[in-house]
Amino acid sequence: MYHKILEKLLGKKIAILGFGMEGESSYHFIRRYSSMPLTIMDKKDIHETHPELREDPNVTIITGEDYLSHLEGFDLILKSPGVITKDIDVKNLPFTSQLELLLEVDREKIIGITATKGKSTTSSLVYQALKKNGCDAYLLGNIGKPIFEELETINEDSWIVIEMSALQLEFVHHSPHIAAILNLYQDHLDHSGSVRHYHENKLNIFKHQTKDDYRLYFQDIEPLNSYMNDSYLGIPYRMTLLESKDSNTTFLKGDVVTLNGKELFDRKQTTSLLGEHNLRNIMTTLTISEILGLDLEKTKEAILEFKPLPHRMEFVGKYHGILYYNDAIATIPEATISAIQSLKKVDTLIFGGMDRGIDYQKLMDYLEEGNVRNLICMPTTGHKIGKQIDNPDVSIFLVETLEEAVLKAREVTSPGKICLLSPAASSYEYFKNFEEKGNAYKSLVKNS
């Protein structure tokens, strides 16, 4: 497979746009086969952090605030997902990406998963189900492993599960053979500019499918269901938590997940995946398993053995009689509400982060009902929301740092109850990403 991608790259005038994890893997992949001239562009000065580039006589490096003004004159621009292009004219730029190149050369064994929330867990579940069934499988993409890192070991029998972000999907012109969208909410408005554009990027996962492909989505989630129409050619497999009599629809019949008259899974079975949102992740995995004709019992084994990924309602431990949970991945209101509902005994919520223009009214209404007794509000969104909560039974604490938040939580949380970190916002103002924030929280809890 990698030979086909190399054919598309070698001999071209190529720019690598963005030199984070994906850009760096693109550079090293090309360099393993060619010393061809390359141009690398990044907003940050990467000369000191990447000494191998200083020793490469055939690389040109462009950095600085105006790095996006140098995109003309290339045959291909290998764009990294994190590069924001909403403020420039991209119409005639030859953008491609690791994802696009892979889809171009071989899409028949690719399973693509996207969503605003839940895509990492579902991608991991599908991957584990394939492995449990004895398949040669790879888990790549937005989950943290660039496609080019594994490209040389993938063969024609390999199944590739790819977690696909909106930024990865923005410029693709090919879609995976099996594609699933779990949900669509507000997110990444700082990157996409509008909710509609963000959703359109996600819908690209279906846009270029053929009538021989498969399209999975939850019909009881809006606006996802309202976007579905005859322009999408993939065979639809609908999913819903409501009962249904439709064919090719995975639904709940009482407590049992059912598809085409076949009972797949009893939700009362004990798993580590709590909450309605994780039930949807399980349903998606089961649906894909049935489409592929996998052994149902082995797929169920994979689900029952699955351990939640870090920073997703992750149990940190019991300290000073308080149960601490880390849900740093929750960067939208719906995710925070879902975590509170799933864990049930949340006495204290630590939340807040970077303001990206998301509508927080739903979260404010939910918190004002008083299901959570203590709200520890961090800048910036936490402060804004906390100042608007008007319920005498809810204690509001405005703090400036995560350390201050953890100390306050220890002081006010009732023994035997839960203190939950679930930001409902991005972490970028004070942390590099949600992982860094979650790890900092865990360290503070364990050392408080």
What is the pLDDT, as a whole number, of residue 86?
85
180 phi/psi in degrees, rounded to 5: -135, 135
The number of angstroms, rounded, from the C-alpha of 103 to the middle of its chain's C-alpha atoms is 19
d(CA 295, CA 130): 10
What's the rounded mean pLDDT across residues 386-404? 97
- Per-residue pLDDT band for 194 (boundaries 50, 70, 90) equals confident
What is the pLDDT, as a whole number, of residue 429?
83
d(CA 348, CA 157): 49
- Is the per-residue pLDDT at 205 higher than 90? yes
pLDDT tens profile 126-178: 999 999 999 999 999 999 999 999 999 999 999 999 999 999 999 999 999 99
What is the pLDDT, as a whole number, of residue 190?
61
pLDDT tens profile 50-101: 999 999 999 999 999 999 999 999 999 999 998 989 889 999 999 999 999 9
- Is the per-residue pLDDT at 216 higher than 80? yes
- Structure tokens given for 154: 């993938």
Spatial CB neighbours of 11, under 8 Å, sequence gap ≥ 6:
36
Residue 371 and residue 398 in contact, taking contact as beta carbons nearer than 8 Å: no
- Per-residue pLDDT band for 112 (boundaries 50, 70, 90) equals very high
What is the pLDDT, as a whole number, of residue 437?
97
Cα-based torsion angle of the residue sequence 213, 219, 225, 231 in order, rounded to the nearest 10 degrees = 30
154 phi/psi in degrees, rounded to 5: -75, 135
What is the pLDDT, as a whole number, of residue 1?
80
Higher pLDDT, 212 or 87: 212
d(CA 373, CA 341): 14
- Is the per-residue pLDDT at 189 higher than 80? no
What is the pLDDT, as a whole number, of residue 87?
85
Domains of the chain: 2-96 (3.40.50.720), 99-305 (3.40.1190.10), 314-447 (3.90.190.20)
- Is the per-residue pLDDT at 191 higher than 70? no
CA distances from 104 to 5, 163, 174, 176, 322 (A): 9, 17, 6, 10, 51
What whole-number percentage of the chain has pLDDT above 70?
A: 99
Q: How many CA atoms lie within 13 A of 165 on its CB side?
A: 19
- Per-residue pLDDT band for 260 (boundaries 50, 70, 90) equals very high
CA distances from 260 to 92, 219, 239, 281, 287 (A): 46, 16, 12, 19, 10
pTM above 0.85, yes or no: yes
What's the rounded mean pLDDT across residues 234-251? 97
What's the rounded mean pLDDT across residues 206-215? 98
What is the pLDDT, as a whole number, of residue 193?
66
- Is the per-residue pLDDT at 448 higher than 90? no
- Per-residue pLDDT band for 314 (boundaries 50, 70, 90) equals very high
From 183-192, 237-246, 332-341, 409-418, the region with the lowest mean pLDDT: 183-192
What is the pLDDT, as a whole number, of residue 188?
59
